[in-house]
């Protein structure tokens, strides 16, 4: 049974401890979820469809019951507190605006329900409209607005309440690519203006990387890694994270980790990839034995070699994609599909506009930028 709210704490930290969500028929949606969100932090939950990120957000909102574990907002446990008493505001993917009300009325509706004085409502609505650049649309109905404008209204409706925590469930997924980019920038600016805690759900890793102070990568209901965007990009915890974060995604090759003259090397067919001192130390500290590995390398870290050599492998060009200042070259190398991301300025003049299907090239990797994974557990060896 839901209980009434206690007096709210001004700190908007959110703590999820051993959270688990089980639906009927023993379908486990989220398990062993542990996360501490600091006051005024912007956290992004990211992962593929069905990974449990929206379910987690809905448990924070009180729209889903928590099967096990403890949820705190500020200093109070809110597992059994009604959504309206949690001092949160949620922005949905489908805007959820009242079609018969004007923009002004939509933004004011929640405040009216709370019996906020008229003058205060007017001031809050106009302030939020100013922040979001929708003042001129206040007397329009939602049907007269574009998708981006409707999303601003939905965000404005949340802003006027000045909640402790903003929850956003894929708010940009209904917008086209150009509008998404624009709204991402708007959200970054909004975050500076509305200085509170944000929990944001998306399946788009570009949104996660650009918006989050920290990102939480989920798969099959479990947290795979928590870290800053840079940490997760530079030091993925496992193969899933490595393949999920980064555009185009990381390339993976079957390789061998070997010891040669007391030094670790990675062998990729006939190529030898020397590993830097930092990686040597990490592998030695873990007592790593020679084994089969998956070698990961990001598209921007693959280089064209002058020709055959000890550190290069042969590759056949499948597709070239001209992206303006960059060229995405899809090749087959070591029996795997592989993508290179090359600045056109670094290419010979004859290849500035791409390569032809079937062209033979040689590629090489810098061991400093290589990632080594255990093929069975998927874990990063470093």
Per residue in 51-82, pLDDT tens? 999 999 999 999 999 999 999 999 899 999 99
Do 19 and 34 meet the contact criterion of CB atoms below 8 Å apart?
A: yes
Q: Are both 100 and 238 inside the same structural domain? A: yes
Q: Domain check: are 319 and 219 in the same one?
A: no
Same domain, 319 and 331: yes
Dist. CA 252–CA 336, nearest whole Å? 8
Each as own residue / partner, the long-range contacts of residues 209-215 (CB below 8 Å, 24 or more positions apart, any chain) are: 209/233, 209/245, 210/184, 211/42, 211/44, 211/184, 211/187, 212/42, 212/43, 212/44, 213/41, 213/42, 213/43, 214/41, 214/43, 214/44, 215/43, 215/44, 215/45, 215/46
Q: Are residues 359 and 372 in the same domain?
A: no
| 196/342 same-domain check | no
Phi, psi of 296 (to 5 degrees): -110, 140
Q: Which phi-psi region, left, alpha or beta, contains residue 25 (left: φ > 0; alpha: ψ -120 to 50)?
A: left
Residues 46 and 67 sit within 8 Å (Cβ to Cβ): no
| C-alpha span between 56 and 69 (Å, rounded) | 12
Considering the domain architecture, whether residues 222 and 348 belong to the same structural domain is answered as no
Please give the pLDDT value at position 1. Answer: 44
Residue with token string 């921007």? 300
Q: Are 124 and 228 members of one domain?
A: yes
pLDDT of residue 172: 86
Q: Are residues 214 and 85 in the same domain?
A: yes
Q: Is residue 382 situated within a structural domain?
A: yes
- 8 found inside a domain: no
Residues 105 and 214 placed together within one structural domain of the fold: yes
Asked, for residue 4, whether it belongs to a domain, the answer is no
The CA distance from 195 to 197, in Å, is 7
Give CA separation, 138 vs 90, 182, 220, 251, in Å. 21, 21, 42, 49
Distant-in-sequence, close-in-space partners of 111: CB < 8 Å, separation ≥ 6: 120, 121, 124, 125, 160, 161
Expressed as residue numbers, the domain containing 232 is: 14-243
Q: What is the CATH classification number for the domain harbouring 119?
A: 3.40.50.300
Q: Domain boundary at 226, 243, 260, which?
A: 243
Distance CA 108, CA 125 (A): 6
At 229, phi and psi to the nearest 5?
-55, -40
Full-model pTM:
0.89
Q: Domain for residue 3, yes or no?
A: no
pLDDT at 10: 58
The residue from 213, 243, 273 where one domain ends is 243
Read off the tokens for 139. Answer: 């007397």
Q: Which residues of the chain have pLDDT under 50?
A: 1-9
Q: Residue 9: inside a domain, yes or no?
A: no
Beta-strand ranges (E) seen in 47-193 are 68-73, 76-77, 88-91, 165-169
CA distances to 132, 157, 255, 370 from 136, rounded to whole Å, are 11, 16, 60, 52
Q: Check whether residue 233 and residue 296 sit in a common domain.
A: no
Does 308 map to a domain?
no
Asked which of 243, 269, 294 is the last residue of a domain, the reply is 243
Classify burial at 310, counting beta carbons within 10 Å of its beta carbon; exposed 0-12, middle 13-18, buried 19 or more: exposed
Structural domain count of the chain:
3
* Residues 203 and 265 occupy one common structural domain: no
**252 and 339 assigned to the same domain:** no
CATH number at residue 254: 2.40.50.100
């Amino acid at each position: 049974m839901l209980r009434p709210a206690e007096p709210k704490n001004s700190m908007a930290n959110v703590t999820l401890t051993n959270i688990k969500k089980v639906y009927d028929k023993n379908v486990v949606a989220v398990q062993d979820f542990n996360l501490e969100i600091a006051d005024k932090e912007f956290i992004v939950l990211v992962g593929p469809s069905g990974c449990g990120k929206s379910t987690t957000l809905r448990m924070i909102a009180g729209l889903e019951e928590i099967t096990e574990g403890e949820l705190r907002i500020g200093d109070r446990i809110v597992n059994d507190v009604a959504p309206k008493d949690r001092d949160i505001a949620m922005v949905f993917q489908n805007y959820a605006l009242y079609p018969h009300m004007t923009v002004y009325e939509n933004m004011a509706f929640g405040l009216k329900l709370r019996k906020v004085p008229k003058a205060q409502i007017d001031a809050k609505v106009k302030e939020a409209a100013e922040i979001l650049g929708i003042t001129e649309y206040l007397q329009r109905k939602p049907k007269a607005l574009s998708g981006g404008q409707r999303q601003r209204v939905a965000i404005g409706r949340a802003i006027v309440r000045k909640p402790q925590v903003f929850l956003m469930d894929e708010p940009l997924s209904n917008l086209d690519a150009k509008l998404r980019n624009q709204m991402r920038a708007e959200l970054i600016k909004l975050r500076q203006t509305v200085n509170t805690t944000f929990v944001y759900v998306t399946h788009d890793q570009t949104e996660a990387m650009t918006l989050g102070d920290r990102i939480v990568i989920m798969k099959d209901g479990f947290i795979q890694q928590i870290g800053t965007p840079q940490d997760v990009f530079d030091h993925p915890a496992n193969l899933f994270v490595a393949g999920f974060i980064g555009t185009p995604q990381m390339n993976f090759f079957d390789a061998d980790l070997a010891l040669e003259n007391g030094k670790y090397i990675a062998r990729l067919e006939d190529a030898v990839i020397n590993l830097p001192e930092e990686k040597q130390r990490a592998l030695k500290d873990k007592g790593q034995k020679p084994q089969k590995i998956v070698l990961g390398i990001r598209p921007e870290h693959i280089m064209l070699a002058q020709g055959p050599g000890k550190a290069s492998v042969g590759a056949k060009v499948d597709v070239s994609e001209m992206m303006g200042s960059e060229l995405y070259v899809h090749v087959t190398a070591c029996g795997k599909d592989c993508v290179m991301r090359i600045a056109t300025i670094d290419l010979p003049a004859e290849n500035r506009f791409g390569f032809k299907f079937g062209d033979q090239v040689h590629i090489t990797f810098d061991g400093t930028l290589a990632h080594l994974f255990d093929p069975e557990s998927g874990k990063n060896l470093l």
